[in-house]
Amino acid sequence: MSAVTSQEASSSAFPCSYHVFLSFRGKDTRKTFTDHLYTALGEAGFHTFKDDDGIRKGEDIKSEIAKAIRESRISIIVFSKNYASSTWCLEELVMILKHKTLGHIVLPVFYDVDPSEVRKQIGSFEEAFTRHEEKLKSETGKTTIAKLLYDLNFLRFEGSSFLENVRVTSQQQDGLLRLQKKFLSDILKTTKVKLNSIAEGTAMIIKAICCKKVFIVLDDVDKLDQLDALLGVRGWLFPGSKIIITTRRERLLGAYEFYKVHRLENLSDDESLELFSWHAFGKCCPNNGYGEVSKRVVSYCGGIPLAIKVLGSSLSGNCLNVWKSQLDKLKAIPDSQIVEKLRISYDSLQDDHDKRLFLNLACFFVGSDKDSTISILDGCGFYTVVGIQNLVDRCLISIDESNTLVMHHLLQQMGREIVRQESPKEPGNRSILWNHEDAFNVLREHTGTSEIEGLKLDMCLLKDEAYACSVFGDNRKRRYEEFLGKPLLSNLGGSLKRYGFTIFSSHLEPTDPENSNIPVALEVDAFARMNKLKLLQLNRVHISGPYKKFPKRLRWLCWRGFPLKSIPGDFPLESLVALDMQYSRLKYVWAGTKFLRLLKILDLSHSYDLEKTPDFSELPNLERLLLKNCTSLVEVHKSIGRLERLVLLNLEDCKNLRNLPRSICMLKNLETLVISGCPNLYGLLTNMGNMESLTMLKVDGIALNQSLPTNGQVNAVQSFIWPWRLKPIESPEISWPSLPWSLVQLSLGNCNLSDDDFPIELSNLCSLKELNLSNNQFRSLPDFIRGLTKLESLSIESCPRLRKLDGVPPLHGYLFFGANRLLEEVTCQVSHRPTTTCHLDACNHPETMTLFKLESIESVEAEIVNNLGLSNLQSMGNLTVKLTSWFGMLQRRFPVQVCYEEHIICAYIPGSKIPPWFNFKNLGSSIDFIVPSYLNLRIGGLNVCSVYEHSGDPKRDEPHTIISNRTKGLVWSHCPHVFGTAEDGEDTMWLSYWKFGNRLEVGNEVRISVYGGEFLNVKEVGVRLLYEEEPEEMCFHSAYGDKIPLQLCQFGNIVPGIVSAHQPSTKLYLLGFHENCKFPCKYCQHLYPPPWIPATPYDYDYTVECLASNQMMGWSFYVSQDLGR
């Protein structure tokens, strides 16, 4: 016990209340060894703390134990067989080891357990940690993560409180008052809290937290008044205080000026399968024979841990037939436990309006264009814009980058189940018939009622095999796959951002209606009692009888595969907001004119027999006209110019279209015009420049360099694209119009453009952000490209004659120039915004100026060569390396080259040993060092040298450097644009030069790691410090007798990094080309622990800044808990 005596002489930051703190597993040793030890210590005069059965469990005991550990001079840990199985014991152990850094002495005692079992975590300790891991993986919700963060950090604050189930508790009588009392009891560390009102409680809370650093977790908050009651005004918080709030409402904290949001992502497929296996089989993988069906269950769950746990537990122990039957049942009726949990967000919606809106979206519009859906549902009496925002806030729906409504399929199934429960046994009494079988039976048996507001029927999705075969024929699978619809979302040139030209991309598209045998015809009388029907979606349905009996209050009619040649005159269309008849057999839409004052959307795409459009003169509110792939369409009615509200016109792939009315130029509100794939268009458009709202123009696939006809007929596209042709051949004298300056996206792909055929007036397109010039015949870009200062994305792919790409303006998005096999040099300026990305697939290893440049070692300035640690260049004349560019994934052998990047200079040389003038060396892939002081010289940079061997395909692996300055909280991750490998069987030496400025100082802790892939083995890493001056004694001599100075080179930019005077949060900077690099997320866990552990573990901010050609592809987040060595 001499250790205790010596410790008594040491000073402590805490008052000493105990000599010894005992940590033990009660059921193992409380009444045996520990009891005897406690007695013996007491008899020897040591005041000892022992957790006995009289102490009340909960947060109070945790605080008391933490206080006892802080006020004890020594801890004795009694490790027994079941010690690690107790999470309480492990939490005590964490507290003890954290306090050890403050001079606290720790003595282990191994009772009936071998020390190696504890040290190596084998035997009973391995089993215990396996169970903890299983439990932790099964508890991945917001509350669990918040609880973990709280447990790891609460001791470092003056006060702390964890309030669970705020939403549920606040709904109970005096619930908020009880939460306030619990809050104040935790912060003030007293049970004597008396409150008479919520206002009094809020005032006391403000007073309690305004003068001390506190850590607060509010779990499951769903209303702002709960935050107001528990926190008051945020300005009252003491500096350094931290608050974690878990909520189902994304915008709940919108009124708070400073807050950060972490969205809990769904599990990946592998994580889901592992979690499911733990619950279903009690191990990390499925049993033999259950692999495929387990993957089906996991796919159904969609990464939601709750669903995975519920289904895993319910299926555990059942035979394979039961599993398959359960999966079939889930398609029709979801699991009640899952629905009950997911329904919490639905029930929390503020009114019936938002609930009905959610049900309609779940049954009809998931996967649909948001703007079109808003038009339709607004016509049904919904306030759709604010309603969708409320649903987004509750995380019940989301909007993706293509403006499509996205809903997790379990939420969608939950919504549909709510509708089914309206009348489980009588489908005709439900508000929405979303199930195809139920809808078919109701229509066939005429059991519909006035309750029905929406109906969905797809004859091809019925389970009747005989009927399906009659529709699809014998080769059912192939024809069914052809039948499945694909989103009509195109890429500009196959590469630029997607944009939506279809109304509902998730719906089915029938094929070959002429040859399909439709054996079932429903009667129009089946709709007679459905006088509230507003939403009707039919697919491959035949209806017989007079159409005047059709529902008259319809707002949306989606009838794919409409079987008639035209819409009958008695068909009630007057109330329609949207008419979708894709894949119809229409030859003309209707006879004469129809006054449809409410119609906003007309979609007749893929109606292959349609020969002409209707008269548009009586459609005053039409906003979207979609005629894509109407291959028989010859002309568009001239009345189209009267559609003053039209914003989208899609005529893509109307291959026989021969006339575009001049009145199109009168469409001043038109925003999107697509006429790609219409090679037979003739007519003259003269006033394109007056289309002041046009933002997207797509004319791909039209040869623009052909001679204009001399018979007076002028290609319509040529008439408004061709005015800029410098020397028209055999063309009449014509005054050509200009494109509107409002254009944001322009696609001229596959237009047969050559060097002499560029429209020179494109420079007036001052708003242009996306330009596609792919699949053309030019050798270089025209000068006008330089003037497009707002350009974000440029696509120049598959241009077989392109040799030099020069004059590209600074881009803020994507540069696509792949598959240009003659391309030799690229000069471009790329913004440092995170989305900047270059794609050079299948190019012939071009140099990409300002991204990277290669220069032969013999031509490099001597200063740069010296700073790379190279010398005796004559000896390198015969050396070659194989360089691989990540743009093209191609390889060529070069003499030794120096590669210049914006922040890094590097070279690859055959070699197997770090040069002797490197200050620090270490075998393996990483090196740790503390920057030394030398003659008060400032350190401006460093060289990194690594030696690696390569035994596989260079296209699959690349070296990757991560430099971590732990002291300053700065991390640089560099993936080179090109990397080199020596001859087969030889090692490669990778030298790189980094210029740091004030980002590297004396005393900084630094780790440098070089990683490779499966076939790249890093053998050794070395570091050489570079100073801003060159003292003689700091020069080294190479093996060839050359003096190697250590002076900082003036070339290149200082690596980025913000140096804060305060305790920093770690900032990660991505340098080089990270799009193909798979290492940062995988290897960042090997960096130093973040700087806030253990100094400030509650500060877990982590900022990423992407530079140069980087595109952030994802994010990985984990929490590690150090239990000691």
The set of catalytic residues is: 92
Q: Return phi, psi of residue 790, to 5°.
A: -100, 5
Alpha helices in 835-913 (DSSP H): 862-867
Specify the residue for token string 């079941």. 82
Task: Assess contact for 941 and 1026: CB atoms under 8 A.
Answer: yes
Q: Is there a contact between 824 and 801 (Cβ–Cβ < 8 Å)?
A: no
Burial 197-210 (b: 16+ CB within 10 A, else e): ebeebbebbeebbe
Cα angle, residue 338 at apex, residues 332 and 343 outer, rounded to 5°: 100
Q: Distance between CA atoms of 1037 and 1040, rounded to whole angstroms?
A: 8
The tokens describing 219, both together, are 């779990």
Q: Are 636 and 661 in contact (CB under 8 A)?
A: yes
Please choose, from the candidates 492, 516, 490, the residue with its C-alpha nearest in 3D space to the C-alpha of residue 505: 490
Strand partners, 905: 900, 993
Q: How far apart are CA 367 and CA 387, in angstroms?
A: 17
Structure tokens at 921: 């060396």
Instruction: Write out the E strands in 627-664.
Output: 648-650
Buried b (16+ CB within 10 A) or exposed e, 1039-1076: eeeeebbbbbbeebeebbbeeeeeebbbbbbbbbbbee
101, 106, 127, 657, 1123 from 109: Cα distances, Å: 20, 10, 20, 89, 17
Measured CA distances, 764 to 343, 684, 740, 744, 761 (Å)? 54, 22, 8, 12, 6
**Dihedral sign for Cα atoms in the order 891, 895, 901, 906:** positive
Taking a C-beta distance cutoff of 8 angstroms, is the pair 481, 475 a contact? no
Tokens standing for residue 613: 């459009």
Q: Which candidate, 1096, 1089, 1103, places its Cα nearest to that of 1063?
A: 1096
**What are the tokens at 5?**
């005596």
Cβ(905)–Cβ(864) below 8 Å: yes
* Alpha carbon distance 403, 397 (integer Å): 12
3-state secondary structure of 214: strand
Of 234, 90, 205, 187, nearest to 148 by C-alpha is 90
Q: Which two tokens stand for residue 281?
A: 């089989």
Place of tokens 């694209």: 721
Tokens (6 digits) for 326:
């359960």
Which distant-in-sequence residues (6+ apart) come within 8 Å of 405 by Cβ? Answer: 361, 365, 366, 367, 368, 369, 370, 373, 388, 397, 398, 399
3 state SS of 422: coil
411 beta partners: none
